[in-house]
Structure 1
Amino acid sequence: MNLLLTFRILGAMLLFLSAAILVPIPFSLYFGDGAAPAFGLASLVTLVSGLAMFFGCRSGKELSVREGFAVVTFGWIFYTLFGALPYLFSGVIASPVDACFETMSGFTTTGATILTVIEGLPESVLLWRSLTQWLGGMGIIVMSLAILPMLGVGGMQLFKAEVPGPTADRLKPRIQDTAKLLWGVYVLLTSVETGLLMLGGMNFYEALSHSFSTLSSGGFSTRNASVAAYDSAYIDWVITFFMFLAGVNFALHFQALRGKLRDLHRNEEFLFYLALTLGVTAILVFLNHGSVYTSLVDNLRYSAFQTTSILTTTGFGTADYETWSVLAQYLLLFLMFVGGCAGSTGGGMKVARILLLFKHAMVGLYRLIHPRAIRLVKLSGQPVDREVMQAILGFFALYMGLFVFASFLMAATGMDVVSAGASVVATLGNIGPGIGSVGPVDNYAHIVPFGKLVLTACMLLGRLEIFTVLVLLFPSFWRK
């Protein structure tokens, strides 16, 4: 492990973070919320730390896979520690554990919060919450690829370690160009949604904050009642549409912008994602008709919003789905395990993995009937490598194992069985709201500090897809 190179890259990432912390200051001065000094001090501390690491750790060696995993994992941890400073310095959050929980929830686009009252807090602090999600949505590490040429190292190792999903594909021969294209699409969609939300009555600050949270599949809002506070069908449908887009592989967005719409029709994962969204929405409309909503228009609006919000792991709320039928709640619980498409900003296990697991099972059943038959698992007509399938099976086993283990830990803190399991599902899948005491109208403030640390770890594991973090726990990883 080349620690000097690792810390040098982490230092460069902190330099970028120090600049990002300055973004809310103009909003603070405009609203006069008094939080500008806190952001200035937080930026200064981050800047000094980044400069010390960047110039104090020099190494001429190339970046290897080991350093890639270390940079990704510790990058998220460092961003959480330094990103929590605005909360602490402004006095909005007094507890370091709570501040780190909120910050990790932001950068991992989870959307779980310990804040009991949102409205009335400094506007710049709320914008920072949303900005952390926007930065973490596409990936802090992918953004850092743009500065890696200055360090004289390659970036594919980081790209493979960070980008969510079974595989990582380049759009351009140079990884830096790939990162720029992804962020270009990301910024474009964010700008379009901001404009549309402003047409719906939001001011620029609210529209930008909700666009940050939507395209990142985060879910932080500037209102206590989340999106429901606006009581606008137009705003609900705009956010529903962009939540759906956020759950799509961003490589497909790039191809669509180039006019290659056929790629959508040929992409099996996208078609399954679309069918899952429409199918669950239709079932929820049927289950909620009459018992919850008498108007078909309102029923479709709220059912589609919550389906898309949970499936993409955004976590916005326009309805208290705990008042819906038990079957409806179970459907939403199932979606919490699925998540968005590979290469999207969504969390969960990813649609591609669920689809490939199902196909693998079908091939296994077919081989029982026809032992001598040769049948391959394919995705979009292309055979899936055995190594990829083995990685998916291992990921599924680890995911479920972590869910059970973390649920036991949460139950040990005194939480009821439903809330303990739901809190783990909601954080491991980077969703935010769950069921029980962490439902859509509740928060995580009541959980004891140990439980918050467990859930903070779950957020990190879920966002970096388990392997990236757990590999660092093996002693052989650190040996030559």
Structure 2
Amino acid sequence: MNYSMIRFILFRLLRIMGTLFTLPLIVALVYKEYDSAISFLILAAVCFVVGTIFTIKKPANRVIYAKEGFAITAVAWIAVSMMGAVPFVITGTIPNYIDALFETVSGFTTTGGSILTTVDNIEKSVQFWRTFTHWIGGMGVLVFLLAVVPMADGYSMHLMRAESPGPVVGKIVPKVKDTAKILYIIYFGITVTEIVCLIISGMPIYDAITISFSTVGTGGFAVRDTGMMGYSLVSQAIIILFMALCGINFTVYYFLLNRKPKEAFAIDEVKFYLGTMLISAGIIAFNVYRSGCVTDPRLAFHHSLFSVASIMTTTGFCTLDFDTWPMLSKLMLVVLSLIGACAGSTGGGFKFSRALIVIRNARNELNFIVHPKAVKRVYMDGHSVEGTTVKSVTAYLGIYVITFIASTLIVALDNFDFQTTVTSVVATLNNIGPGLGMVGPTGNYSQFSYLSKLVLMFDMLAGRLELLPIFVILKPKTWRR
């Protein structure tokens, strides 16, 4: 284990955190929140100075292999979350550190589950930081590091693979640094576009910026107690569009920007993702309209599409309380939350690519029973999927199920109702935010015990990092030299 390189990268991240704290500092000054401004100034200075001092001397051995890549990723996310929780405590927004850490982990992992019972009275600068954590975590803190800090390209790929969502992660251009830059340019461009569209729709500038952070990062933190319900149908429609766009593999946008539409639209996962979203919205709209929950068929489809897009992309926004909808609609939303968005997007969940690989591999196994001599391969996008990828997806599914069962049993110690207990784990492990019951669209996680909150924080981190990095650091052998 290359400990010197781990320390070096962690202090690099601390320096970047210092830079990021200057943004809510500026917001605090704009809105004359001087106490919060002092807090953010001190944090920014401490992080930047300490990070700079401990990164002046570069490690002699800068080699990073897969083991270091996974370990650095997991430890970095934990460290960034612990530091990111400090503003909530020192500003008095969330005095209890465990609750503040829950809010921050939920922010960085783009989960969006909150322990806050109200957000209307939170200072603008703190609210900005809260939603900005979504934007930072959406593309990944280490991807940002790779984009701005020179590193050995052959080794930095291990960091990107450990942090990026999906069964297979590759470079869209020869160099990892250039890949990270391209991803962040696309990410920034989508964010700015949504901000402009929301402002044009009549949304206040502050709301447009913070809601765009939550939308593009597929996080779901709102800045009003009414959530998305208080905005116009036009604003909601814009949010639907950008939620759907950010649930798509960002490689698609790279192909489109380089005028390669055939490659962009040849991705199987995207076709199934968009098709599932529209069909599910249609079924739920019919069910909701027929049950009388929404009496206007156009509004029924609008709210159903919003909910489906929000749940599938694991954003977690809502325009209506879907916990009051018929059982079929609620159950469909839970199933969609398990699948999630596309690989290589900012969304969470199991991912459509994994689901397709599991389904196609199962089909091949059934065909093998009927035709034992037939040689069947799993195909995605017209290409054969390597056996190691199929194996890793199967292993991921096994770890996912074990994690879900173990977490549910521990959270059950709080003795809440069945749907609250189960969907709280589903919502955190898949980085969705809202579940059903006490953690529904109008609920929160404030009543859970500290033990349950720690378990749910573990699930949020494990879900965002695709399980393996978190479990790798729990193995003693990982830390042997």
**Is 2:49 the counterpart of 1:30?**
no
Contact 1:27 1:123 in 2 (8 A): yes
What number of residue pairs does the alignment pair up? 479
1:385-423 alpha-carbon deviations (Å, 9 max, x no partner): 111011001101111111110000000122222211111
**Distance in 2 (alpha carbons) for counterparts of 1:192 and 1:423:** 33
Contact 2:165 2:344 in 1 (8 A): yes
1:156-182 alpha-carbon deviations (Å, 9 max, x no partner): 110111111001111111100000000
Contact 1:42 1:89 in 2 (8 A): no
What are the equivalent positions in structure 2 for 1:199-218 lying under 5 Å apart?
199-218=200-219
Partner residue, 1:393? 394
Partner residue, 1:100? 101
CA positional deviation for 1:150: 5.9
1:263-284 alpha-carbon deviations (Å, 9 max, x no partner): 2331101001011101110110
Partner residue, 1:255? 255
RMSD: 1.4
Partner residue, 1:120? 121
Which ranges in structure 1 are unaligned for 5 or more consecutive residues?
A: none
Q: Structure 1 56/448 Cα, relative in aligned 2: closer, same or farther at 3 Å?
A: farther
Partner residue, 1:243? 243
Contact 1:115 1:445 in 2 (8 A): yes
CA positional deviation for 1:52: 4.5
**Distance in 2 (alpha carbons) for counterparts of 1:158 and 1:368:** 40
Q: Structure 1 57/176 Cα, relative in aligned 2: closer, same or farther at 3 Å?
A: closer
What are the equivalent positions in structure 2 for 1:229-308 lying under 5 Å apart?
229-230=230-231, 232-290=232-290, 291-308=292-309
**Distance in 2 (alpha carbons) for counterparts of 1:196 and 1:354:** 33
Partner residue, 2:10? 10
Q: Structure 1 38/465 Cα, relative in aligned 2: closer, same or farther at 3 Å?
A: same
**Distance in 2 (alpha carbons) for counterparts of 1:146 and 1:192:** 21
Q: Secondary structure of 1:227's match?
A: coil
**Distance in 2 (alpha carbons) for counterparts of 1:310 and 1:465:** 18
**Distance in 1 (alpha carbons) for counterparts of 2:58 and 2:95:** 33
Residue identity in the other structure for 1:6: I
**Distance in 2 (alpha carbons) for counterparts of 1:467 and 1:31:** 42
Residue identity in the other structure for 2:3: L
Residue identity in the other structure for 1:112: G
CA positional deviation for 1:50: 2.0
CA positional deviation for 1:66: 1.9
Contact 1:348 1:430 in 2 (8 A): yes
Residue identity in the other structure for 2:87: P
**Distance in 2 (alpha carbons) for counterparts of 1:376 and 1:334:** 27
What are the equivalent positions in structure 2 for 1:33-432 lying under 5 Å apart?
33-34=33-34, 35-55=36-56, 58-149=59-150, 154-230=155-231, 232-290=232-290, 291-432=292-433
1:166-225 alpha-carbon deviations (Å, 9 max, x no partner): 011111111000000000000000000000000111122110101111011101111112
**Distance in 2 (alpha carbons) for counterparts of 1:42 and 1:151:** 30
Q: Structure 1 152/360 Cα, relative in aligned 2: closer, same or farther at 3 Å?
A: closer
Q: Structure 1 170/153 Cα, relative in aligned 2: closer, same or farther at 3 Å?
A: closer
TM-score normalized with structure 1 length: 0.97
**Distance in 1 (alpha carbons) for counterparts of 2:270 and 2:250:** 11
Which ranges in structure 2 are unaligned for 5 or more consecutive residues?
A: none
**Distance in 1 (alpha carbons) for counterparts of 2:99 and 2:4:** 31
CA positional deviation for 1:447: 1.0
Residue identity in the other structure for 1:448: S
Q: Secondary structure of 2:357's match?
A: helix
**Distance in 2 (alpha carbons) for counterparts of 1:473 and 1:150:** 26
CA positional deviation for 1:106: 0.6
TM-score normalized with structure 2 length: 0.97
CA positional deviation for 1:311: 0.3
**Distance in 1 (alpha carbons) for counterparts of 2:428 and 2:299:** 29
Contact 2:357 2:378 in 1 (8 A): yes
**Distance in 1 (alpha carbons) for counterparts of 2:286 and 2:151:** 56
Contact 1:38 1:86 in 2 (8 A): yes
Q: Structure 1 416/244 Cα, relative in aligned 2: closer, same or farther at 3 Å?
A: same
CA positional deviation for 1:305: 0.1
Q: Structure 1 354/153 Cα, relative in aligned 2: closer, same or farther at 3 Å?
A: closer
The answer to which of 348-357 and 59-68 deviates more is 59-68
The 4+ residue runs of structure 1 with deviation greater than 4 A are 150-153
**Distance in 2 (alpha carbons) for counterparts of 1:57 and 1:73:** 22
Contact 1:10 1:54 in 2 (8 A): no
CA positional deviation for 1:151: 7.8
Residue identity in the other structure for 2:91: S
**Distance in 2 (alpha carbons) for counterparts of 1:369 and 1:125:** 61
Contact 2:153 2:177 in 1 (8 A): no
